[in-house]
Structure 1
Amino acid sequence: MNIALIAHDRKKKDMVNFSLAYKHIFAKHTIFATGTTGKKIQEATGLEIHRFLSGPLGGDQQIGSKIASDEMDLVIFMRDPLTAQPHEPDILALLRLCDVHGIPLATNVATAEILIKGLERGDMQWRNVFKK
């Protein structure tokens, strides 16, 4: 499965910690991330990360393109709902694309953990239902 990881600046540490906790699961899948987030995860975990541009430079839009092309299976976007900066990726476009294409998107650690645990158990058969 292809998994996208994105994090607002104040949530990058949470994303790194999450990636460390579930490294054994992420290692079995193809991981994509926006530039800075991907770099931090790669440095902390040693996982191979396919890095796009940083969010402010369009990395979130590159991930959106993968979603629209049916090349992404799961998105984890750790967003800062209170102090997100204008230069940070906007979740609304990705949320809309994920809803249109039936791709699960987690916006916090709790939901991300549920999705990752489901992935670990092999409970992600939803992709077969939504494939066109």
Structure 2
Amino acid sequence: MKKIKSIGLVAHDARKRDMVEWVEFNYKRLMPHKLICTGTTGRLVEEVFLRREPDKASDIIKLKSGPLGGDQQMGSLIASGHVDILIFFIDPMTTQPHDVDIKALERLCSVYNVVIACTRSTADFVISSHLFEEDYEPVTIDYTNYLTRNV
């Protein structure tokens, strides 16, 4: 993980306001990093940067909306090593029609040892860590035995 991180930003509808407030508060720390967002979250994050740092707004990568495939796009980026940190503000009080996609993202973060923050408090701790601004080599899990198993 290089000093400049690739950060996935996702928020359920009921948590989008929290994400906007969080990005608004942390935009200076987020500016040097590569931001990858699902659908509407990306549009809202882009609006924050248009107000604060217009030159950075066009650099934000916007995927499809989560339920329309954006979660799978984010998962593919995680599995291919293109996301270092996933900030996913989850609404635990609302049933999501794409709940399996959400669980898949959580699972992929575990499989590939990707930092995941599902609450604003955790995201605050992640972004305020000294490791956030440094190169960092996460411990990788060796799946050779799994890949070479007899089936």
Q: TM-score if structure 2 supplies the norm length?
A: 0.78
Q: Note closer, same or farther for the CA distance 1:121–1:3 as it changes in structure 2 (3 Å cut).
A: closer
Are 1:130 and 2:140 counterparts?
A: yes
Superposition pairs of residues 1-132 of structure 1, within 5 angstroms? 1-46=5-50, 47=57, 48-87=59-98, 90-118=101-129, 122=133, 125-127=136-138, 129-130=139-140
Q: Which amino acid aligns with 1:13?
A: R
Q: Which amino acid aligns with 2:14?
A: R
Q: Separation in 2 of the partners of 1:28 and 1:120?
A: 15
Q: Separation in 2 of the partners of 1:57 and 1:73?
A: 23
Q: Which runs of no fewer than 5 residues in structure 1 stay unpaired?
A: none
Deviates more, 1:16-25 or 1:81-90: 81-90
Is 2:72–2:101's contact at 8 Å kept on the other side of the alignment? no
Over the residues paired in the alignment, what is the CA RMSD in angstroms?
A: 2.2
Q: TM-score if structure 1 supplies the norm length?
A: 0.89
State the 1:74 CA deviation. Answer: 0.2
Larger Rg computed on CA atoms: 2
How many equivalent pairs are there? 131
Structure 1 residues 31-74: Cα deviation after superposition (integer angstroms, max 9, x where no partner) = 00001100011112223310000111110110100000011100
